[in-house]
Amino acid sequence: MTLTGNLLIGRQSIRGTNGSLHGIDAATGATLEPAFGGATPAQLDQACALAWQAFDTYREISPERRADFLEAIAANILALGDALVDRCVAESGLPRGRIEGERGRTVGQLRLFAGMLRQGDFLELRVDPAQPERQPLPRPDLRLRHIPLGPVAVFGASNFPLAFSVAGGDTASALAAGCPVVVKAHSAHPGTSELVGRAVQQAVAELDLPEGTFSLLFDAGREVGQSLVADPRIRAVGFTGSRAGGTALMAIAAARPAPIPVFAEMSSINPVLLFPNALANRAEAIGAAFAGSLTLGAGQFCTNPGLVLAVESEGLERFLEAAASSLARIGAQSMLTPGILHAYCGGVDALAQHPQVRTVARGQAGNTLQGQAALFSTSAEAFLADAALRHEVFGAASLVVRCRDVAQMRQVTEALEGQLTAALHLDAADHDAARTLLPSLERLAGRILVNGFGTGVEVGHAMVHGGPWPSTSDGRTTSVGSLAIARFVRPVSYQDLPDDLLPAALRAESALRHTWRVDGKASR
């Protein structure tokens, strides 16, 4: 499949004429062909108009057909074969195995939502039957379903060019909810974006869906993304990226005549808490595993362990030695873009030069496109005194905070901003100490995990990939797992509607097919 560099607007492939951008080979810095044309305001308008036109039709196609659509997207992505993997490896600098795994995850997400649609209870149907004899007033018949919000703007993320991009979790959950999607491709992987975009576009055609169900726009700057969020036909935004980027989109969304929700997943340093007995018993194993998690994908994970809290102890010293010796054996890796590498180096330099911070270890040095892992340590007092030490350094850098005791670990925890994850390493003898920290951690993070690292994000029904500000813009949501669909729907109540005017799922005939909550009690 030859790349065109074109925008995908509805069923068309159109040359964008508002500047252009190229993919870059992350490992060599070489420019990759072709040039991708940025969308003009008129082209953006066309994509939004088509999405709006598609909305009422697309949202009412049967859940089964929507499931077929998601599965067709998955099949079309797999059918791209090596062409997709090769381009994605080149644009991201990520290892081939990682990209193949991420492709599997992307396809798995689409299939997870397809399964939910087939299961049919994601609409959360509720019925409060009429009570015509009730005194002093009869009770009306009330039926409730959730309907989609409208067209959704999705911003591809740099660090997961498949799973958080054109057909990633935001797109999959929005399409599953019944929302048309307009994607603003991330400039770091335009070729990957076009290939996946064409897989989606092809699925729209195969299922004979309204053409505005999906469009893909490129942007040589920031205009297209900003205009997309401001467009009155866009009704929600999915974004994964920097805190500055997410905050800027939130401001645009809030300033609209009719504000819309922005679901932005932004900034997290993902504290790892090492408890005394676990350290005493297996500091070396934890240190080695930590180094592996820290450097996975050059540390470019939202859930990368950027902060370690531990009580000063002989075990902590052994942990640091083990982590340092592991890091020394791990090669430097290409980072996603020169800009990300530049920001990473700036963050590492600031830590290295901080008077209260000690450099514990560095990974192997690499070429000018590669990030060198870094491990630092500081005292709890210094950490609490300087908010700059609590900022995310996106990449394979982490800061160990030496605490006097578990109470001080808790004090440090309370000083943190919201996080995606908090990981505890503990043995049975640590449970009592850990229990005193759990209330803080629940208030702090969307996911709490024991004896592991947050870098593996399971796609399932009980996953939360979200958390309090600033890890996300709305801690009541997740961008991974089946609950992600809840971001894109709203409840509508139907009172005393004649059966033939009710939506199909709420008609009497559907009572046998769907799980309803009748007077608040689940029943089938």
Assess 449 for contact with its own copies (CB under 8 A): yes
Q: Is 471 in the site for its own copies (CB under 8 A)?
A: no
291 vs 272: CA distance, rounded Å: 12
Does position 402 interact with its own copies (CB under 8 A)? The reply is no
- Name which of residues 153 to 172 contact its own copies (CB under 8 A): none
Considering only 354, 452, 505, 507, the residue that binds its own copies (CB under 8 A) is: 452
- Peptide linkage before 498 cis (omega within 30 of 0): no
Peptide bond into 140 cis (omega under 30): no
Q: Within 238-257, which residues bind its own copies (CB under 8 A)?
A: 250, 254
**Segment interacting with its own copies (CB under 8 A) among 82-90, 139-147, 208-216, 345-353:** 139-147
Q: Which amino acid, residue 385?
A: A
What beta strand segments (E) does 42-164 contain?
126-128, 142-148, 152-155
| Per-residue interface string for the shown chain with its own copies, residues 23-62, x marking contact by CB under 8 A | ---------------------------------x---x--
Q: Which of residues 261-280 bind its own copies (CB under 8 A)?
A: 261
**In 3-state terms, what secondary structure has residue 163?**
coil
145 strand-pairing partners: 492
Residue 95 binds its own copies, judged by CB under 8 A: no
Query: Is residue 118 involved in binding its own copies (CB under 8 A)?
Result: no
Residue 455 touches its own copies, criterion: CB under 8 A: no
Among 42, 388, 462, 508, binds its own copies (CB under 8 A): 462
How many angstroms separate the CA atoms of 49 and 231, rounded? 10
Closest separation in Å from C-beta 514 to its own copies: 12
Selected catalytic residue, list 302, 392, 403, 417? 302
Report which DSSP code applies to 136: S
- How far apart are alpha carbons 187 and 225 in whole angstroms? 11
**Residue of 149, 224, 273, 375 interacting with its own copies (CB under 8 A):** 149
Separation CA 403–CA 387 (nearest Å): 17
Under rule CB under 8 A, residue 108 binds its own copies: no
Between 169 and 261, name the residue whose CB sits nearer to its own copies.
261
Local structure of 413: helix, strand or coil: helix
- Helix or strand run (H / E) with residue 273: strand 271-274
* Least spacing, CB of residue 476 vs its own copies, in Å: 4
Whether 302 is a known active-site residue: answer: yes
Binding mask 189-228 for its own copies (x = CB under 8 A): ----------------------------------------
Q: Which of 91, 211, 265, 417 is catalytic?
A: 265
Chosen residue from 73, 74, 116, 397 binding its own copies by CB under 8 A? 116
CA angle (479 as vertex; 477, 481 as ends), nearest 5: 100
Query: How many binding residues for its own copies (CB under 8 A)?
Result: 78
Closer residue to its own copies (CB): 367 or 495: 495
Question: Does 34 sit behind a cis peptide bond, omega within 30 degrees of 0 on the bond before it?
Answer: yes
Cα atoms found within 13 Å of the Cα of residue 234, Cβ hemisphere only: 35
Residue 418-447 contact track with its own copies, rule CB under 8 A, x = bound: x---------x--x--xx--xx--xx-xxx
Q: At what angle do helices 96-119 and 81-92 cross, to 10 degrees?
A: 120
Pairing assessment for the beta strands 516-518 and 521-523 based on DSSP bridges:
antiparallel
Does residue number 85 form part of the binding site for its own copies (CB under 8 A)?
no
| Closer residue to its own copies in complex, CB, 404/490 | 490
Binds its own copies by CB under 8 A, chosen from 109, 372, 455, 473: 473
> What's the alpha-carbon Rg for the chain, to the nearest Å?
25
Question: Which CB atom, from 356 or from 523, has the smaller least distance to its own copies?
Answer: 523
Q: Which two tokens stand for residue 210?
A: 């309204």
133 classed as catalytic: no
Residue located via tokens 């052994």: 318
* Contact call for residue 232 and its own copies (CB under 8 A): no
Interface positions, 301-330, toward its own copies (CB under 8 A): none
Closest CA to 320 of 398, 391, 385: 398
> For residues 264 and 473, is the Cβ–Cβ distance under 8 A?
yes
Contact 212, 51 (CB under 8 A): yes
- Residues annotated as catalytic are 265, 302
